[in-house]
Structure 1
Amino acid sequence: MTDYRVAKGEAQEDQITASIEKFTAQVPSSVYLALALGSMAVSLGFSAAKKPHNALFVGQWAAPFLLIGVYNKLVKIHGSDGTKAN
């Protein structure tokens, strides 16, 4: 069976990605959790106000905020470029 995994040092991130990650690494991970919980709270408010379309729209923001937070945490812990020593 062929191994298709990318080996360490085989691929590098570009400068745009590196600059974005350098900027976002300064944001604490708890901010992304707060944004997710806030979107759920606003969604609940829209539901209570009988605005179901707005409630669904804002409520769906929680998952992307959590995913961005997980990605941010992984970059902080492991880095994004396999060529750099941690």
Structure 2
Amino acid sequence: MSLDVNPASAESKREYELPPVLRAEHADSSFTRLLEQQAAKIPSHMFLFASLCSMGVSLSLELMGRTQPARFIGSWVSPLLVMGVYNKLVKLLGPR
């Protein structure tokens, strides 16, 4: 017989219903919907292409010895990829 180390383990097996979100400040504005509609028009692969281009430009600037511009352009990779993921989520799930 094995003893459970967590005394609340039986309580954690219950199913909980999530409360509905009814607060007005959590609703999206018309400006947010407009941005999501416009962002959905951009192909998702464009963000991936732009991030790969910024990696290549950053690498070439680094090899030319221009470290500050290389690091500046290299810092664009993460935001571009995040924008691509957001764009893809907006397309798949739609505005919620």
TM-score, normalisation: structure 2:
0.73
Specify every segment of 5 or more residues in structure 2 that has no aligned partner in the other structure, as ranges. Answer: 1-15
- Counterpart residue number, 2:69: 54
Task: Write out per-residue CA displacement over residues 5-57 of structure 1, whole angstroms, 9 at most, x where no aligned residue.
Answer: 77366542111111111111010100000010000000011011100011100
Higher gyration radius (CA)? 2
2: distance between equivalents of 1:72 and 1:38? 19
Aligned length: 78
- Counterpart residue number, 1:84: none
2: distance between equivalents of 1:7 and 1:36? 38
Specify the code of the residue in structure 1 equivalent to 2:44.
S
- Residues 56 and 78 from structure 1, CA distance in 2 versus in 1: closer, same or farther, beyond 3 angstroms? same
Among all aligned residue pairs of Structure 1 and Structure 2, give the percentage whose two residues are the same amino acid: 35
The 3-state SS of whatever aligns with 1:43 is: helix
TM-score, normalisation: structure 1:
0.81
The 3-state SS of whatever aligns with 2:27 is: coil
The answer on 1:77 being equivalent to 2:92 is yes
The answer on 1:7 being equivalent to 2:20 is yes
Specify every segment of 5 or more residues in structure 1 that has no aligned partner in the other structure, as ranges. Answer: 82-86
